[in-house]
Amino acid sequence: MSERIPVQIIERVEPSRANVKVKSSDNLIHTRSFTGLFRNLRVSGAGFLFLLFFGTVWLDWGGRQAVLWDLADSKFHIFGATFWPQDFILLSALLIICAFGLFAITVFAGRVWCGYTCPQSSWTWIFMWCEKLTEGERNQRIKLQAAPWGVNKLLRRSAKHSLWLAISVLTGLTFVGYFTPIRPLANELLTLQLSGVSLFWVLFFAGATYINAGWLREAVCMHMCPYARFQSVMFDKDTLTVSYDAARGENRGPRKREVDPASVGLGDCIDCQMCVQVCPTGIDIRDGLQMECIGCAACIDACDSIMDKMGYARGLVSYTSEAVLQGGQTRLLRPRLIGYCAVLLVMIGALVLALVERPMVSLDVSKDRGLFRENSQGQIENIYSLKIINKTQQRQQYHLTLVDGDGFQLQGKTEVSLAAGEIFDFPVSVTMIAEHPSSGSQTISFEVVDSDDASVRSLAKSRFVAPLNR
């Protein structure tokens, strides 16, 4: 007879009311209004970013839009600097800097990017404010959602969606305005003369804003954003996260303000559910760190206001670390954080150096498809197509030469005058004046030099092909 595996009966524990997410009957999250330090920080930071986003696009610089990614002409204007596709390596460096900056801030303070500066969170807060303005506070919105359709509900919903659509269209127009001059774009939109391509992209980004910030909201953070998935690998026991102090808060339970919680076997948490009702993702922070938490600290502000009313010390929910909750201290300097910061500083230094050393003239050389030809004097010639780009903001005079061109002679245009930002394509030929080539394919170097400033120059190499047996 085979041996039986012993079975251990485990008592099933029902989840408490506090562990259930607080949602309305329509399964939507309706957040409660609140005030506090972190809300003020978030509003101030988001206000600055909105001013930057919506305001910068209208600034002028030297007779043109200050910030314009002109895809049609492959020019990218950022105030006094103009960048070209050849400078895209700088964009790569900038993206790497942003990535390591995000890693460093995550190791130090968790998902503060998500809670304070992420566009999804910022626009969602704006849309929630519109909802409060048109439909009232949390309880009023829940009642309105459950109420049958009538004149009041129709008017309030229409007002809300009108505000949402207005903000969405303005967002789409502004975003497209960074790639197409904003003033004619806005005028064409107002006069209903917007071209098909521009209209498509304005409506596309308006629709994305309307759907993401108005309807999807926390679903984007919880199910669509990859950052929520890999953030945990960057956390350690010293990372500052929004946390509930269970040792101080448990056991939970309501009580009167004048009652000493210790005398009735309770902790400081009065189980008021305020921390859940203000959470934009609808989680209960008292259940511990969760993937859905975006680190916005709304629960901290809400809990602190309740602690003030009860006469208890603040900080039952706070930015703290696992080490502190376990009775230790937070180590600010640790290998992972130091490593990220070191790489970040090196990348910033490299980007600054690249910007300072960036040549203000560009030279591209492409050889003609034909291998070579023989001129009327019996000399071997190669044909090349040159492209010179003036990256400065003024007209410049350039001189073209061959570098170390012993045995070769440049034929064609050698003096070029270019306006600010102008691109000039032209052909030249190179003649081999040496009688016997050292090899069938040799490297030659073209150099363009600013006639007024010899330090402004650009070098490009190509190949000269000639027959060995003549």
Q: pLDDT of 426-470, one tens digit each?
A: 999 999 987 777 677 888 999 999 999 888 999 999 999 888 765
Instruction: Give me the pLDDT at residue 26, please.
Output: 57
What is the C-alpha separation between 73 and 91, in angstroms, rounded? 18
Of 404 and 397, the one with more pLDDT: 397
Q: Quick: pLDDT tens for 299-326.
A: 999 999 999 999 999 999 999 999 999 9
Pair 46, 62: CB distance under 8 Å: no
Report, in angstroms and rounded to the nearest whole number, the Rg of the chain calculated over CA atoms: 33
> Looking at residue 21, what is its pLDDT?
43
Is 429 exposed, middle or buried, given 0-12, 13-18 or 19+ CB atoms closer than 10 A? middle
Question: Would you state the torsion angle of the CA atoms of residues 297, 299, 305, 310, taken in this order, to the nearest 10 degrees?
Answer: -140
* d(C-alpha 460, C-alpha 446), whole Å: 5
Q: Is 109 helix (H, G, I), strand (E, B) or coil?
A: helix
**Cα–Cα distance measured from residue 284 to residue 242, given in angstroms and rounded to the nearest whole number:** 11
Whole-number Å distance between alpha carbons of 121 and 46? 10
Phi, psi of 12 (to 5 degrees): -80, 130
397 has which bridge partners? 417
Whether residue 435 contacts residue 408, with contact meaning beta carbons closer than 8 Å, is answered with no
CA 86 and chain centroid, separation: 22
Comparison of pLDDT for 75 and 238, the residue scoring more:
238
- Return the bridge partners of 418, or none: 396
Mean pLDDT of 398-424: 90
- Tell me if 319 sits within 8 A of 240, measured CB to CB: yes
The pLDDT value recorded for residue 176 is 97
**Residue 23 pLDDT:** 52
C-alpha distances (whole Å) from 388 to each of 67, 125, 287, 364 are 24, 48, 63, 7
Q: Which two tokens stand for residue 132?
A: 């409060």
Sequence length of the chain is: 470
Q: Flag whether pLDDT at 60 surpasses 90.
A: yes
Spatial neighbors of 329 by CB under 8 A, at least 6 apart, are 323
Report which of residues 18 and 350 the model is more confident about. 350
Residue 1 has pLDDT above 70, yes or no: no
CB 398 within 8 A of CB 449: yes
pLDDT averaged over every residue in the chain: 89
Q: Tell me which residue of 123, 272, 146, 292 sits closest to 131, measured CA to CA.
A: 123
Structural domains of the chain sorted by starting position, each given as residue range(s) with its CATH number in brackets: 15-56+110-327 (no CATH), 361-465 (2.60.40.10)
pLDDT higher than 60, residue 24: no
Q: What is the pLDDT of residue 469?
A: 66
b/e 92-122 (16+ beta carbons within 10 angstroms → b): ebeeebeebbbbbbbbbbbbbbbbbebebbb
Rounded distance between C-alpha atoms, residue 276 and residue 228, angstroms: 19
Task: Tell me if residue 63 falls in helix, strand or coil.
Answer: coil
Nearest Cα residue to 177 out of 49, 81, 169 = 169
Q: Around 157, how many Cα atoms within 13 Å sit in the side-chain half-sphere?
A: 11
Torsion on CA atoms 44, 303, 112, 21, rounded to nearest 10:
-120
**Stronger pLDDT, 92 or 8, i.e. the higher one:** 92
CA angle 290, 236, 218 (to 5 degrees): 25
What integer pLDDT is reported at residue 373 of this predicted model?
87
What does the pLDDT look like over 122-161, one tens digit per residue? 999 999 999 999 999 999 999 999 999 999 999 999 999 9
pLDDT of residue 172 exceeding 60, the answer is yes
pLDDT above 90: residue 347: yes
| Alpha-carbon gap, residue 339 to 245, rounded angstroms | 30
- In this prediction the pTM is 0.83
Percent of all residues in the chain with a pLDDT value above 70, rounded to a whole number: 94
pLDDT 10s digits, 246-287: 999 999 999 999 999 999 999 999 999 999 999 999 999 999
Quick one: pLDDT band at residue 69, thresholds 50, 70, 90? very high
Q: How far apart are CA 344 and CA 7, in angstroms?
A: 55
Q: What share of the chain is helix, strand, coil (3-state, %, to 5)?
A: 45, 20, 35
